[in-house]
Amino acid sequence: MDLGKKRILVTGSSGFIGSHLVEELVKKGALVRCFVKYNSNHDIENLRKISSEALKKVEIFMGDLKNIESVNNSMKGVDVVFHLGAQISIPYSYEDPRDFLETNVLGTLNVLEAAKQNKVERIVVTSTSEVYGTALYTPIDEKHPLQPQSPYAASKVGADKLAESFQKTYNLPITIIRPFNTYGPRQSMRAVIPTIIVQALTKDKIKIGSLTPKRDFNYVKDTVDGFIKIAESPDTIGKTVNVGSGRAVSIGEIIEMIKKILGKDFKVEIDDERKRPENSEVMVLLSNNSLAKDLMSWEPKTSLEEGLKESINYVRENIKDYNPDFYHV
């Protein structure tokens, strides 16, 4: 499928990954409708940071994923749906698990129902590597058991299984993309890499929850490339596909890499407030991305070192947008 000139709906379009995906789709010539959660200020968040030319070409649709009428109206005349909209903060899921159930599971159900009703040509549903939990084996392939260790991860398992059931029951053209830990420009301090970078640029000491968990960090442009290649390939329909770098590094190693790039030394303090409950912390996530390579010739192009430099440059240029003294959940 050529996405150029297709009418595309992106839920979660104002988020970190979503805004990069919107920008790339516009470059390809697609007609993009951006689903943004309604707010009285008409705040489009990260969409404000895409190029002005791209922003002029997109349609903004304010709505709520938890409202089926809203979702259905947003899908009128649409060919392709990229469903990224979700509650995503693991620490916040400890505080309000019901919101994660309603947004991530019910919201996904509404997207699937609307896609079925509107006879959408292609649907890409966004999962997360967190559904795997602490790995039973590495690298993790798509056959690894799903063992959620947080309310967030549990809600995403529910959404994934709904998508699978709609594909099998109604023969909808659905693919589940399972990104590992995406990072890069525009990411908020809810995530660990910008949290480290902001503190490193503004302080002599950084606070972190744990140094030992290992993550598979994938640069945002590579993740977006995965979204696009999945939608373009007929071979991915009915499948779940990992999108990750195939390299796992610890949080402690990330800190050392940032120190080296900045040419700056700083102390590291373990902050109990930032620790996850012991049985909820996922210790290792490492992607087996061979299925993505086989089905759609996807592989990451940006090294972790290069991606960290880009992330540091972005934070440095936009440091006024970050608060290093506040723990973001």
Structure tokens at 269: 């303090």
User: What is the per-residue pLDDT across 63-76, written as a single tens digit (0 to 9) for each?
Assistant: 999 999 999 999 99
Answer whether 209's CB lies under 8 Å from 276's CB.
yes
Average of pLDDT values for 144-165?
Answer: 97
Average of pLDDT values for 255-280?
Answer: 85
CA pair distance 225, 21, nearest whole angstrom: 8
Q: What is the mean pLDDT of the chain?
A: 95
- pLDDT tops 70 at residue 107: yes
Work out the number of other CB atoms within 10 angstroms of the CB of residue 7.
17
- pLDDT tops 90 at residue 210: no
Going by pLDDT thresholds of 50, 70 and 90, the confidence category of residue 199 is very high
Q: Which amino acid makes up residue 249?
A: V
CA pair distance 231, 3, nearest whole angstrom: 8
- pLDDT tops 80 at residue 131: yes
CA pair distance 71, 108, nearest whole angstrom: 10
CA pair distance 32, 29, nearest whole angstrom: 9
CA pair distance 225, 220, nearest whole angstrom: 9
- pLDDT tops 70 at residue 276: no
- Of 153-167, 197-211, 308-322, give the lowest mean pLDDT range: 197-211
Query: What structural domains does the chain harbor?
Result: 7-183+219-243 (3.40.50.720)
- pLDDT tops 80 at residue 280: no
Helix or strand or coil: residue 324? coil
Going by pLDDT thresholds of 50, 70 and 90, the confidence category of residue 329 is low
| CB within 8 Å of 322: residues ≥ 6 apart | 189, 194, 198, 315
Name the percent of the chain lying above pLDDT 70: 98
Beta strands of 31-106 (E only): which ranges? 31-37, 59-63, 80-83
User: What is the per-residue pLDDT across 301-317, written as a single tens digit (0 to 9) for each?
Assistant: 999 999 999 999 999 99
- Of 150-159, 170-179, 218-227, 317-326, give the lowest mean pLDDT range: 317-326
Q: Which amino acid makes up residue 85?
A: G
